[in-house]
Structure 1
Amino acid sequence: MMQVPDRLTLANARAALAEGLSAIAAGQREFDLSPVTAVDSSAVALVLAWKRAARASGSELVIAHAPESLHSLAQLYGVAGLL
């Protein structure tokens, strides 16, 4: 099971993307973001990439307990409905 880091920022986006893609390939269908305390715009792209990868494998990825800051950024960029 993927351990989501407490920060989803540009500094760790590449590693988080790889870890998430591996978890999706292994069959994980829900990511719990409750540990996340800090995000930046790369977190929006990261979550969308995870969701695209799950969809490409024929399933949907559930993002649970996303922080309000992630929702706010997604609204700002006009992609809130995709999260």
Structure 2
Amino acid sequence: MAETDILARIQHLVEDERQLRDRLQAGEISTDEEQARLRSVEEQLDQCWDLLRQRRARAEAGQDPDEATPRPVDEVEKYLQ
């Protein structure tokens, strides 16, 4: 996935996040539904940011950034612990 594609995906996910919050405020979805869906969006965002960091690190090291691969959610989420 090219860097521009990753950035576009991040932008899309951020918009999804905003829409979920708006829908909650409008009473269109429950707090539980919002929280579950937000968790999924946040996990996907973390994966995208991780992939972007991998690509940039590979490029800085003179390696092929296209060889960076998305890591599983459980691996990316454990970075914060």
Structure with bigger strand share is 1
* Bigger relative CO (Cα 8 Å, ≥ 6 apart): 1
Structure with bigger helix share is 2
Looking at CA atoms only, which structure, 1 or 2, has the larger radius of gyration?
A: 2
Shorter-chain TM-score: what band? under 0.3
In the superposition, the TM-score normalised over structure 1's length comes to 0.27
